[in-house]
Structure 1
Amino acid sequence: MKTFVLLLALVGAALCEPTVYFKEEFDDGDKWEERWVESTHKGAEQGKFVLTHGKFYGDAEKDKGLQTSQDARFYGISAKFPKFSNEGKTLVVQFTVKHEQNIDCGGGYAKVFSSDLDQKDMHGDTPYLLMFGPDICGPGTKKVHVIFNYKGKNLLIKKDIRCKDDVYTHLYTLIVRSDNTYEVKIDNEKVESGELEADWDFLPPKTIKDPDAKKPDDWDEREKIDDPDDKKPEDWDKPEHIPDPEAKKPDDWDDEMDGEWEPPMIDNPDYKGEWKPKQIDNPDYKGKWVHPEIDNPEYSEDDKLYAYDDIGALGFDLWQVKAGTIFDNVLITDDADFAKEVGDSTWGQTKDPEKKMKEEQDEEDRKKREEEEKQRKEEEDAKKPEGGEDEDEEDEGDEDEDGDDVHDEL
């Protein structure tokens, strides 16, 4: 009996093991070049990826990743893996992004492709299955893209997910579940979640306004109406301005020369403004008319919005004004908990040392600038003559009280 229970436990554990479709941590030197293929579609405008840990890092080996190395370039690089379908499974796409150049405009997202991707010709118009990751351009665009391709159309998420915009490494995770729900995480913390059908325009609306329905002609939407019994008082109408009763014609006013004198106008204290009848509840008010809806004949339920039959490649297809972004710790799996563990063991282990190293570098730079400024001031002071007077002033002769040069008089 104990043997049977142990066997069941082992089988259960095996069934629960995560499937890793693709994993890349760039930890085997130059061998990454055997797995990744750079696009040549843009020719001379195509930027080059290099392997580096960057200017500051938490671990010199673990933090090595692919970095964009040339400003104002297109970048395209991809890796293939055995194709699979995520039907009936969870799909997790995860990677780290480090904009150590303090990026002003450029992408930091990944694209997932089918297995027939032409890697050498990959470019911005190459069809993809999904796109995920940060995108920054000026102060107005700092978002996380989550784009699904559905029946040939790229669908953008209808929610605004803000990305990280500092210079440190951040972990981005997209989880797509087989119940047509999703979750977006940054640094292993949930920042957004919901239903695919609700947050993307995969399908037309379930209901539409009834084209045959019209608001009745006698439908009264006025909540208040003028009181028919309210009448304007007979003494209501008064002019807004009247001649100043205290004004007097000046004694030196000449009608022939100055024209006929008229007193200046002042605000009329008896002016009451435009009269309006008071408002009362409308006895015929029926409320706001709501257009009735009917089932949309074009709507058809799809319980497999999440599913792709052929997932076989992942790539970075970008444009960057200022290069320096580093991509690392790429993972595609079917287990969200496993992805979290991988994130904790990679990014989670090096994020704090990375920040410490950057802060130490900033402090060293600050001290260097202060020392250079101090030295500059000392050099300027050393050039000045004793007493603080300029040499030109010392060469000039003293002047007498009349402003004449004393030497001229001698």
Structure 2
Amino acid sequence: MMLSKRWKTPNRNQIPALLLLQRSPIKLRFQQGKCILLILLTEELCQGKWEVDEMKETKLPGDKGLVLLSRAKHHAISAKLNKPFLFDTKPLIVQYEVNFQNGIECGGAYVKLLSKTPELNLDQFHDKTPYTIMFGPDKCGEDYKLHFIFRHKNPKTGIYEEKHAKRPDADLKTYFTDKKTHLYTLILNPDNSFEILVDQSVVNSGNLLNDMTPPVNPSREIEDPEDQKPEDWDERPKIPDPDAVKPDDWDEDAPAKIPDEEATKPEGWLDDEPEYVPDPDAEKPEDWDEDMDGEWEAPQIANPKCESAPGCGVWQRPMIDNPNYKGKWKPPMIDNPNYQGIWKPRKIPNPDFFEDLEPFKMTPFSAIGLELWSMTSDIFFDNFIVCGDRRVVDDWANDGWGLKKAADGAAEPGVVGQMIEAAEERPWLWVVYILTVALPVFLVILFCCSGKKQSGPVEYKKTDAPQPDVREEEEEKEEEKDKGDEDEEGEEKLEEKQKSDAEEDGGTASQEEDDRKPKAEEDEILNRSPRNRKPRRE
């Protein structure tokens, strides 16, 4: 995907910075040096060529930068700052972009902040030109580096010494191999703290007093170079026991291995057959000269008769460990009564000691340069800025590198496309994709489409397995049918119960009627009794 808008150069006059180098104006600001190669003790012109051009696969038409064109050659190019940078109360921020368009085999893409000296001549910029800070990526073989080196002046001797920052913990390989534009930023603060960022993310940080090698300040004491270890100094923690005596039964001549007397020759062992025999199919080469090469002999091969036998040739007993073996006698070790420890030379005050608590106040610099040797061509540089305001630097990055990042993101393939591209470079990834993606999907489809009925409630009851919350439609129909059958059965039972109750009620009434009959007859008999008769009145 290509962004529709072309690159528009920002207004440089509105940006408060000591150095702004980007795109077409970079041609006017950089000047190519003669590169005196002091390492080779000769003077010769640097053969490496530079060019201001777009990236080969640019996503922003019109966006140009400085391109290192030559392979296996020395390159030198530099630019002067608007004014020297003085290390006082403001931080130092150095930032620029790099794109290894062809990857990188062996070479660097670091910048040097050239020290302000009366002798500084950018036309004669070379590898020994004094610099204050060196910063940027460097790689050779599988050693990926992000340099931050500053030259510290010894206040006592006036000699400069390089101080190297600790190696970043982050993995830097991607920045050299992905062929994308990356933003490198160095921030030095007046409190001696520093940060190194790639693509606006911190990859290394520390303090100039604590995290540089060798340390800025030497130790207060050093070992006395003239001190020597006494001849009678005993550093042995253990010594052989001088009173120990070798036992009388100690046999130093007994061998470590002896033949196994209990072993027997396996049946079928071919004593008369050699283990190797001449190859019967071998033929003497036509160019064999017996006068020059000697008598020709067929090469030896394994005896085919021995393949089916347990062995061939003269049988020998196998060797076993000698139970009586003791080896050479040595007296046991005991603590050394005269042990004095490991000798160390005595400490003396360091005559070169100094204490610089403000290493941030480095030598001022007045120019920036690229002095490089690379086995890879087409290294793209862009958007250099030296400034003391973090906000300005971030805005500059968003206007430049931010657009490149957005354009790269718009042109990147989706997740599937990235997986396919990775598999084209590493075919074995197809196996990983099948096992991690295709196989689970296939199993899910197979499980869902298998048509297997769910276990009934009885099975769940037996196994105590949890029943699913969502019921299948068929299961619901079966439950409705069972419910209807239960309702009909309930109605039948109710009718039977009512009939039974009616029969019971009828039986009770008949019983009461039967009970009343004898009572009526009894009453009638009593009424007819003479005792119950009323007297007549005459």
Fold shared, TM-score > 0.5 on shorter chain? yes
The verdict on how the C-alpha distance between 1:212 and 1:79 changes in structure 2, with shifts beyond 3 A counting, is closer
**1:77 corresponds to:** 77
Q: Work out the CA distance in 1 between the residues paired with 2:346 and 2:231.
A: 16
Distance 1:350 1:245 in 2: 80
Matches of 1:158 and 1:232, distance apart in 2: 60
Write the mapping of 1:336-375 to structure 2, written as runs, cut at 5 A: 336=390, 339-340=393-394, 342-343=396-397, 346-351=400-405, 353-354=407-408, 357=411
Per-residue displacement from partner, 1:132-153 (whole Å, max 9, x unpaired)? 11112333x4222223234464
Report the alpha carbon displacement of residue 351 of structure 1 after superposing the two structures with TM: 2.5
Alignment counterpart, residue 300 of structure 1, candidates 354, 367, 371: 354
AA paired with 2:76?
Answer: G
Q: Distance in 1 between matches of 2:398 and 2:413?
A: 22
| Whole-angstrom distance in 1 between the partners of 2:397 and 2:406 | 14
Q: 1:40 Cα shift?
A: 4.7
Query: Is 2:52 aligned against 1:50?
Result: yes
Counterparts of 1:135 and 1:89, CA distance in 2: 28
Question: In the alignment, which residue of structure 2 is the partner of 1:134?
Answer: 137
2: CA distance, partners of 1:340 / 1:153: 33
Three-state SS of the structure 1 residue aligned to 2:369 is strand
Distance 1:327 1:295, change over 3 A: same
Q: CA deviation at 1:20?
A: 2.9
Deviations 1:67-102 (Å, cap 9, x if unpaired)? 223333433322222223113432221211110111
Could you say what secondary structure the match of 1:20 adopts? coil
Contact 1:23 / 1:329 at 8 angstroms: preserved in 2?
yes
Is the aligned partner of 1:172 residue 2:184?
yes
Whether the 8 Å CA contact 2:74–2:372 is kept in 1: the answer is yes
Which amino acid in 2 is paired with 1:350? K
Bigger proportion of residues as strand: 1
For residues 290-348 of structure 1, give each alpha carbon's deviation from its aligned partner in whole angstroms, at most 9, with x where no partner exists.
Answer: 44323201122223433245322112222223211111222212245654564456434
* Alpha-carbon distance in 1 for matches of 2:45, 2:330: 74
Q: 1:106 & 1:340 partners in 2: Cα distance?
A: 28
- Cα gap change, 1:72 to 1:343, in 2 (>3 Å): same
- How far does residue 112 in structure 1 lie from its aligned partner after superposition? 0.9
Question: Is residue 317 of structure 1 aligned with residue 371 of structure 2?
Answer: yes
Q: Does 1:234 align with 2:234?
A: no
Structure 1 unmatched runs, 5+ = 1-17, 248-262, 371-410
2:20 corresponds to which residue? 23
| Equivalent residue letter for 1:71 | R
Residues 105, 136 of structure 1: 8 Å contact kept: yes
Counterpart position of 1:89: 90
Tell me the equivalent position of 1:269: 323
Partner of 2:522: none
Q: Which 5+ residue runs of structure 2 have no aligned equivalent?
A: 1-14, 36-43, 154-158, 263-315, 425-538
Aligned partner of residue 49 in structure 1, secondary structure: strand
Residue identity opposite 1:236 in structure 2: W
Change (3 A) 1:121 1:341: same
The TM-score normalised by the length of structure 1 is: 0.66
Measure how far apart 1:215 and its partner are.
4.8
- Aligned counterparts of 1:40 and 1:67: Cα–Cα separation in 2: 18
Q: Distance in 2 between matches of 1:165 and 1:302?
A: 36
- Could you say if the C-alpha distance between residues 308 and 223 of structure 1 is closer, same or farther in structure 2, counting changes exceeding 3 Å? closer
More relative contact order, 1 or 2 (CA 8 Å, 6+ apart): 1
AA of the residue aligned to 1:35: R
Structure 2 length-normalised TM: 0.52
- What are the equivalent positions in structure 2 for 1:216-295 lying under 5 Å apart? 220-228=234-242, 230-241=244-255, 268-295=322-349
- Is 1:35 aligned to residue 18 of structure 2? no
Residue type of the alignment partner of 1:157: H
Letter in 2 for 1:357: A
CA 1:170/1:227 → structure 2, altered by over 3 Å: closer, same or farther? same
Give the AA of the match of 1:183. E
Question: Take 2:225 and 2:372, find their aligned partners in 1: how far apart are those partners?
Answer: 45
> What does 1:83-232 correspond to in 2, within 5 Å?
83-114=84-115, 117-139=120-142, 141-151=143-153, 153=160, 155=162, 157=164, 159-161=166-168, 163=172, 164-166=175-177, 167-198=179-210, 199-201=212-214, 202=216, 204-211=218-225, 213=227, 215=229, 220-228=234-242, 230-232=244-246
CA deviation vs aligned residue, 1:40-84 (integer Å, no higher than 9, x gap): 556471302223143144x445x5321223333433322222223
Conservation of the 8 A alpha-carbon contact between 1:145 and 1:156? no
Equivalent residue letter for 2:186: L
Q: 1:190 to 1:289 in 2, by over 3 A?
A: farther
Q: What amino acid is the match of 1:328?
A: D
Cα–Cα, structure 1 residues 216 and 31, in superposed 2: closer, same or farther, change >3 Å? closer
How far apart in 2 are the matches of 1:165 and 1:185? 15
Tell me whether 122-131 or 190-199 shows the greater mean CA deviation: 190-199
How far, CA to CA, are the matches of 1:149 and 1:292 in structure 2?
Answer: 31
2:25 match: secondary structure:
helix
Separation in structure 2 between the aligned mates of residue 95 and residue 23 of structure 1, nearest angstrom? 10
Q: Distance in 2 between matches of 1:129 and 1:21?
A: 16
Aligned length: 328
Paired letter, 1:31: P
Tell me how far apart the structure 2 counterparts of residues 237 and 172 of structure 1 sit (CA, whole Å): 74
Q: Whole-Å Cα distance in 2 between the matches of residues 218 and 265 of structure 1? A: 53
Provide the identity percentage: 34
CA contact (8 A) 2:194 2:207 kept: yes
Residue type of the alignment partner of 1:209: E
1:149 maps to a residue whose letter is R
Kept in 2, the 8 Å contact 1:168–1:355? The answer is: no
CA contact (8 A) 2:149 2:165 kept: no
Letter of the structure 1 residue corresponding to residue 140 of structure 2 = C
Q: CA deviation at 1:236?
A: 1.4
Q: What letter corresponds to residue 124 of structure 1 in structure 2? A: D
Deviations 1:355-409 (A, max 9, x none): 553659xx79x99xx9xxxxxxxxxxxxxxxxxxxxxxxxxxxxxxxxxxxxxxx
Largest Rg, 1 or 2 = 2
- Residue 330 of structure 1 aligns to a residue in which SS? strand
Matches of 1:31 and 1:336, distance apart in 2:
23
Distance in 2, matches of 1:301 and 1:180, equals 14
